[in-house]
Amino acid sequence: MKKDSKIYVAGHNGMVGSAIVRELKKQGYNNLILRTHKELDLTRQDAVEKFFELEKPEYVFLAAAKVGGIGANSVALADFMYDNMILEMNVIHTAWKNNCKKLEFLGSSCIYPRMANQPIKEEYLLTGELEKTNEAYALAKISGLKYCEFLNRQYGTDYISVMPTNLYGPNDNYHMEHSHVLPALIRRFHEAKINKLDSVTCWGDGSPLREFLYVDDLAELCVFLMNNYSGNETVNAGTGKEITIKDLTKLVAKIVGFEGEIRWDTTKPNGTPRKLLDVSKATKLGWKYNIELEDGIRLAYEDFLNNPMRAER
Ligand SMILES: NC(=O)c1ccc[n+]([C@@H]2O[C@H](COP(=O)([O-])OP(=O)(O)OC[C@H]3O[C@@H](n4cnc5c(N)ncnc54)[C@H](OP(=O)(O)O)[C@@H]3O)[C@@H](O)[C@H]2O)c1
């Protein structure tokens, strides 16, 4: 990308999209095209076609998606599949029709088989059954990355994809039903502190292992890949480090300043015991994350405190 290339960041108000915009601006890219969801509904084919014909972006970061936690994902299966599939096909197809030079598609680590060997390598894609709770979302994401691959193979495009682990950071979603584990813990401990509760009860026994990447580190990788990577295989994005949910709750409680008891409701499910991405491909390409988990959670909590409306998103 040149500093004045026309770059469209789809989903720029979301956590990932806004981090990509921050990173692009930091690196001096000065010709960004942005549309809110209200201004351009990416599930509307006619609107997407008009937008691409008018703006002709040279590069596209596709960070718009209908996103949710385990609750929303497992209930609204049809909506998650339809909205994401339509949105992806519209944007990727129309970008190609309008000669977009390069597109980067954002997926998620839930595309990998639920019983995949750990750490999960990119090549494990489609080697086993998906996790049922987010099957619809995963299938839509797999279709998006495969469509990029098929365009490359059939028409010689240069469209790539990146699969991040659990993300957190500025602009995260703290909604009670739609948030992921880390922002949900930040909100729960914060509210418990404010309401002077004696204890907070978390689901399961705290034993599962999870990996977390600060979203600004992902954004740096996304810009790096746009400039330095071409290929049909996706690229994992993570830290390669894991933490038990129990230790994570203790860390979040410490940072938020909740001093009560943390209890575990072992009648509730734990989820997958371990989920760690193999990030050696991104590392070999020359990227490494910068922000350690404790520092990142402090930054995320600061952002949460400065933006009380986040909890209502
Ligand atoms: N968050 C994570 O932990 C995580 C982990 C791995 C991968 N990812 C991937 O990263 C990508 C972005 O996730 P995120 O966490 O940044 O989600 P997010 O904060 O919810 O952002 C998604 C953005 O897409 C927009 N959007 C949704 N539907 C749209 C539509 N029909 N037309 C136009 N815009 C639309 C949303 O706008 P509105 O809010 O106005 O609807 C929002 O600004 C997704 O592909 C996700 O799979 C996220």
In terms of Cβ atoms closer than 10 Å to its own Cβ (0-12, 13-18, 19+), residue 36 is exposed
In testing the pocket of ligand 1, which one of 33, 34, 36, 37 has its CB within 8 Å of the most ligand atoms?
Answer: 37
Assess if residue 258 is contained within a domain. Answer: no
3-state secondary structure of 59: strand
Assess if residue 46 is contained within a domain. Answer: yes
Assess if residue 126 is contained within a domain. Answer: yes
Assess if residue 187 is contained within a domain. Answer: no
Q: Whole-angstrom Cα distance, residue 80 to residue 86? A: 10
Task: Indicate the length of the chain as a whole number.
Answer: 313
Strands of the chain, DSSP E: 7-10, 32-33, 59-62, 102-106, 159-164, 166-168, 199-203, 209-210, 212-214, 235-237, 243-244, 261-265
Residue 84 alpha carbon to ligand 1 centre in Å: 10
| Dihedral sign of CA atoms 15, 192, 273, 74 in order | negative
Domain that holds residue 90: 7-168+212-238+278-290
The CB of 170 under 6 Å from ligand 1? The reply is: no
Assess if residue 188 is contained within a domain. Answer: no
Query: What is the domain count for the chain?
Result: 1
Task: Give the pLDDT of the chain (313 residues) as one tens digit per residue.
Answer: 999 999 999 999 999 999 999 999 999 999 999 999 999 999 999 999 999 999 999 999 999 999 876 677 777 889 999 999 999 999 999 999 999 999 999 999 999 999 999 999 999 999 999 988 889 999 999 999 999 999 999 999 999 999 999 999 999 988 877 778 899 999 999 999 999 999 999 989 999 999 999 999 999 999 999 999 999 999 999 999 999 999 999 999 999 999 999 999 999 888 788 999 999 999 999 999 999 999 999 999 999 999 866 655 5
Catalytic position from the list 59, 137, 159, 214 = 137
Assess if residue 125 is contained within a domain. Answer: yes
Q: What's the CATH number where 24 sits?
A: 3.40.50.720
Assess if residue 303 is contained within a domain. Answer: no
Assess if residue 78 is contained within a domain. Answer: yes
Ligand 1: atom nearest CA of 38 is 40
